Amino acid sequence: MSVGWKRTYTDEHIKTFVSMWHNGHSASEIAKALNKSVNSIHQFASRHREQYDLEKRKAGRRYVPPDSFDKLWHGVIPLGHWSITKPWGKKCVVKPVTNS
């Protein structure tokens, strides 16, 4: 049994956790199944990665595999590109394109 920040993981929890992790379930899905917080799931995975052979996952708001349709469609434009197109505090001097 593993003990975390006032939360315990029984052998059954660990078995379910490892099984779901290897099957590709998200941390929020695992947390819901085990009735734990997502942060608790992240901490457990981080602390027991080698012991249970838990592969490290990509971090970020949304991981897009490089061969997915979204990545192929958008090309090299990064996720959230709208936030880096104009410095904050500057007025936009570009006129909108219209047909008139």
- For residue 19, the model assigns a pLDDT of 93
Does residue 30 lie within any of the structural domains?
Answer: yes
Flag whether 22 is in a domain: yes
Total of domains in the chain = 1
- Residue 78 in any domain: the answer is no
Does the pTM exceed 0.85?
A: no
Who's near 58: CB < 8 A, 6+ residues apart? none
Q: Is residue 71 part of a domain?
A: no
pLDDT tens sequence across 27-80? 889 999 999 999 999 999 999 999 999 988 876 555 556 666 766 666 666 666
33 falls within a domain: yes
Domain-embedded: residue 95? no
**pLDDT score for 55:** 87
CATH of the domain at 9: 1.10.10
Paired tokens of 44: 């457990």
In a domain, 6, yes or no: yes
Query: Which residues 6+ apart lie within 8 Å of 37 measured at CB?
Result: 31
Q: How far apart are CA 96 and CA 100, in angstroms?
A: 11
* Residue 95 DSSP one-character state: P
pLDDT band at 24 (very low <50, low <70, confident <90, very high): confident
- Domain of 8 in residue numbering reads as 2-47
In the block, which residue shows the tokens 């936009």?
92
**56 Cβ partners below 8 Å, 6+ apart?**
49
